[in-house]
């Protein structure tokens, strides 16, 4: 990902890793948002702040603190307030090097996650790395889930030209009014689920028919590399507990399903999806 910022409101955010591909460009007058996976882009009047510019209608993968408003380290008073808003406690961990740069390593604890940040200890106090640790949300499963955002190649006195803030639509790209249109209601919404059989992750056969009229089944498909999935986890967990507390079992739950998804990732004890995905 590359970020170019020229105040007050020129921006070029180019996310070229991952599956989605996102480009956000503001020339100071017009804002263009382009999703490569959909080959769609929108053009509208440029907002005054960078947080609004990154709003594409859906949550992106957590970057700094799980908020796409912090996708761009714009700085300033609002930025600081947003960073510190949910912090319950903090700790100075020590001085450490990140990519050869001596940094302050700080830890901030919030209710739902902790985040560590490494800030250049020199004349340019820029952010070099952020690690968001979401493991609190997986405490029951004793699993570890983290996001690392690393910054590099800081240039604090760039010489930009107009071309740096110009969007050229790729071949086949379509200009639309809405970047992401809401899905039409699913034809099965409100209707009985179709019967299916499978084998759960413990190797036990599962037949939806045998739970008909008895249990509530919550079947969720998620991945640690999916920003919206992670952001919805507290709600899903709450719903799961609510259902579990009210009566019969929930034999298929998102945590097991997530486990299955994660098993695609290579690695040893420390699986790394390493998808480097943007949104």
Site for another protein in 18-57 (CB under 8 A): none
Q: Tell me which of 20, 98, 126, 243 binds another protein, using CB under 8 A.
A: 126
Kindly report the number of other CB atoms within 10 A of residue 26's CB atom: 25
Q: Tell me which of 155, 161, 194, 235 binds another protein, using CB under 8 A.
A: 155
Burial class (CB in 10 A: 0-12, 13-18, 19+), 205: exposed
Is residue 85 involved in binding another protein (CB under 8 A)? Answer: no
For residues 191 and 158, what is the distance between their CA atoms, to the nearest angstrom? 58
Q: Would you call 124 helix, strand, or coil by DSSP?
A: coil
| Shortest Å, Cβ 119 to another protein | 5
Q: Which residues of 250-278 are buried (b: 16+ CB within 10 A; e: fewer)?
A: bbbbbbebbeebbeeeeeeeeeebeeebb
Segment 189 to 218, residues that bind another protein, using CB under 8 A: 199, 201-203
| Cβ nearer to another protein, comparing 6 with 173 | 6
Is residue 150 involved in binding another protein (CB under 8 A)? Answer: yes
Q: Tell me which of 139, 157, 162, 163 binds another protein, using CB under 8 A.
A: 157
Is residue 122 involved in binding another protein (CB under 8 A)? Answer: no
| Cβ nearer to another protein, comparing 99 with 170 | 99
For residues 215 and 160, what is the distance between their CA atoms, to the nearest angstrom? 61
Candidates 32-40, 70-78, 185-193, 242-250: pick the segment binding another protein (CB under 8 A). 70-78
For residues 38 and 60, what is the distance between their CA atoms, to the nearest angstrom? 15
Candidates 106-114, 171-179, 188-196, 242-250: pick the segment binding another protein (CB under 8 A). 106-114
Is residue 1 involved in binding another protein (CB under 8 A)? Answer: yes
- The structure tokens listed for 242 are 């609510």
Strand partners, 41: 34, 175
Q: Tell me which of 37, 84, 85, 249 binds another protein, using CB under 8 A.
A: 84
């Amino acid at each position: 990902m590359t970020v170019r910022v020229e105040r007050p409101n020129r921006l070029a955010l180019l996310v070229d890793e991952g599956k989605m591909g996102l480009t956000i460009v503001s020339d100071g007058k017009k804002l263009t948002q382009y999703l490569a996976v959909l080959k769609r882009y929108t053009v509208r009047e440029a907002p005054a702040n960078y947080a609004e510019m990154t709003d594409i209608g859906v949550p992106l993968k957590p970057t700094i603190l799980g908020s796409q408003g912090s996708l761009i380290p714009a700085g300033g008073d609002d930025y600081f307030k947003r960073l510190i808003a949910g912090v319950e406690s903090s700790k100075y961990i020590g001085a450490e090097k990140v990519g050869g740069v001596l940094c302050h390593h700080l830890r901030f604890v919030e209710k739902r996650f902790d985040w560590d940040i490494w800030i250049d200890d020199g004349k340019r106090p820029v952010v070099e790395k952020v690690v968001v640790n979401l493991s609190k949300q997986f405490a029951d499963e004793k699993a570890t889930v983290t996001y690392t955002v690393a910054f590099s190649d800081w240039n604090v006195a760039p010489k930009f030209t107009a071309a740096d803030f110009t969007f050229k639509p790729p071949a086949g790209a379509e200009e639309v009014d809405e970047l992401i249109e809401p899905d039409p209601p699913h034809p099965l919404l409100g209707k009985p689920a179709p019967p299916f059989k499978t084998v759960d992750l413990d190797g036990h056969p599962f037949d939806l028919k045998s739970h008909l009229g008895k249990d509530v089944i919550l079947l969720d498909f998620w991945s640690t590399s999916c920003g919206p999935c992670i952001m919805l986890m507290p709600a899903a967990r709450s719903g799961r507990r609510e259902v579990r507390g009210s009566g019969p079992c929930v034999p298929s739950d998102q945590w097991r399903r997530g486990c299955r998804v994660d098993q695609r990732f290579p690695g040893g004890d420390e699986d790394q999806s390493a998808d480097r995905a943007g949104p």
